[in-house]
Chains A and B, each alone.
Chain A
């Protein structure tokens, strides 16, 4: 079971919108609505931003939104702000025989 595929980096200017993709297979992303997204600032623990593809936990800004089409999930950050600069990871439940959950490769978001 390989990690889910994310772009290594995405950048945008303050106020812009960016989208991070997360590509898997029908055994994980495409097969279940159990995709979640995590934000991680340097030296800090990850923080849940999106669960069940498109739901935001209490306290997470509505500038963060999630969606899914086929085997690819996406995280969109609108109105980009300096504090959004961080690493972002997707994750999915998987029916693989070797794993229960799989993370994405991670995306570094840079605010220009």
Chain B
């Protein structure tokens, strides 16, 4: 069974631009969660989607948004990029909606904002 895939793997953007990251979950998984990892703040939960609905959200500004499609693939969008948005963005998929289900992580997308 294929693992969680994220595209693109690396991305360089300029301040003020917007970016869309994609995550394809493991086949059969209906929950996708997104995380931001930075050296300073560590790992922080962004949001979780289950069956195309956002069921949970972390403490991030509204510039961070996401969606999930009927095939469970998910996209994350960051608008008006800031230097502080430079990070590794991880997505994880799981069978069930609760985060207590085992999550399987993707390799991440490394976003650099200049």
A and B interact: no
Q: Could you list which residues of chain B lie within 8 angstroms of chain A, going by C-beta atoms?
A: none
